[in-house]
Structure 1
C-alpha cells in the first residue's frame, strides 16, 4: 500500500485598497494609475470604479443612504471575490458614510482605507461634468459635499492630499506606504 501525499496549494489572498473622498478629489485617477502599476509589476489587480459599478451593477439604485449602502455592499462582495482569488481590488468610491467604510473593513481582510483629501472648491473646479453646479442649483438631490454629508475618515491608513501633490507623487506615496506596511501585494 502506498501513501499518497497531497501538497497544499497556496493561493495568496488579495488586498483591497479603498479610495474614498469627494467627487473630483482624484480617486479614479489614482486608482487607475495604481492598478496599472500593480499589473506592470505582475500583480493581478482590478480597478472597481464607482461610476462603472453603478452603471453595470447598480442600475436602479438612487443616492439615498440605503441605496448608497447597497452599492457599497455590492462593491464589497465583488472585492471579496477578487481577493479570494489573489487579486488586489483597487476601489474608488465616494463611500460618504463612516459606517459604510467600517462595513467594508469588517468584511474584507487586508482592507486599506485611503482618504483622497481635496478641498471642496478644488473639487468643484475640477468637475468636468458640471455635477457640483447642478447640485448647487438643486438639480441633483443628495449630492455628497453639497446637499448630503461626507464623513471624513477618522483613522484612514493613509491620507493623500491631491490639491497639494501630483497624481504621480500620490501614487508613489501610496505604493511606498503599501510596501512599508507589508501590504504590498507583491510581497504579501
Structure 2
C-alpha cells in the first residue's frame, strides 16, 4: 500500500551533483552469459573512470545477492524481483550523481526493459557482453556450468534456461575475440559524449 507514502524532493538535485562531479551520471548495464566477462569489464571500466576522477559504483550480481537480495532465490519470480530491486538501486545511485555500472546476466528482454523504464531510457547505456557458450564453459571459474551439466543447478542460463540476446544494445563486445583492454577502449569511446556535461 502506498497511499500514505509521499515523494520527498531532494534539496540537492542530480544536476547540482553532476556539476560538482564534472560529469553526467548514467547507468551502464552489462548483460551476457555467466563467464562472458561482465564483471571483469565493469571493474576494468570503473578503474579507468576512477583514474580519470569520475565517481563510480559497480553493482555485481553475486554481491547484491549476498546483501540487498539475500532473501531471494532463483525462481522466475525471484529473478524478476532481483532485477527490479537492482534497477531501483541503480536509479538512486545515478540520482546521487554516480556513474553506476551494473553487471547482471539479466537474460530476459522483459527485465532489461523494466530496468530501462525505471532509470529512464535516456539514462541507460546497455552493453551486451557477447561470448559463445562453449567459450564461457571453458572459463568456468566458479564451477557453475559443470554443476548445471551434472544437474546440480536447475534453470541455469545457457544450459537449462534461455538467454534472450539484446537486439538494441548500445554496444556489443565479443570477449572471445577482444581483450579486456580493447573492450575498455571501445567503452570509453562510446561513453565519452554521454558523460559530458551540457556545454562542457
Q: Distance in 1 between matches of 2:58 and 2:197?
A: 20
Deviation per CA, 1:138-162: give whole Å up to 9, x if none.
1001100001111100110110000
TM-score, normalised to structure 2, is 0.85
Determine helix, strand or coil for the equivalent of 2:90: helix
Structure 2 regions of 5+ residues with no counterpart?
Answer: 1-12, 19-23
Where does 1:16-165 land on structure 2 (aligned, <5 Å)?
16-109=27-120, 110-165=123-178
Deviation per CA, 1:132-182: give whole Å up to 9, x if none.
011011100110000111110011011000000101100110111111xx2
Deviation per CA, 1:67-109: give whole Å up to 9, x if none.
1111101111111111111101000000010000001111113
Deviation per CA, 1:28-84: give whole Å up to 9, x if none.
000001111111111110000111001111113111111111110111111111111
After TM superposition, the runs of 4+ consecutive aligned structure 1 residues lying more than 3 A away are none
Q: Distance in 2 between matches of 1:15 and 1:147?
A: 33
Equivalenced residues, count: 178
Q: Distance in 1 between matches of 2:76 and 2:126?
A: 20
CA RMSD in angstroms comes to 1.4
Q: Distance in 1 between matches of 2:104 and 2:59?
A: 8
Structure 1 regions of 5+ residues with no counterpart?
Answer: 1-7
Q: Distance in 2 between matches of 1:68 and 1:171?
A: 29
TM-score, normalised to structure 1, is 0.91
Q: Residue 10 of structure 1: CA displacement?
A: 2.4
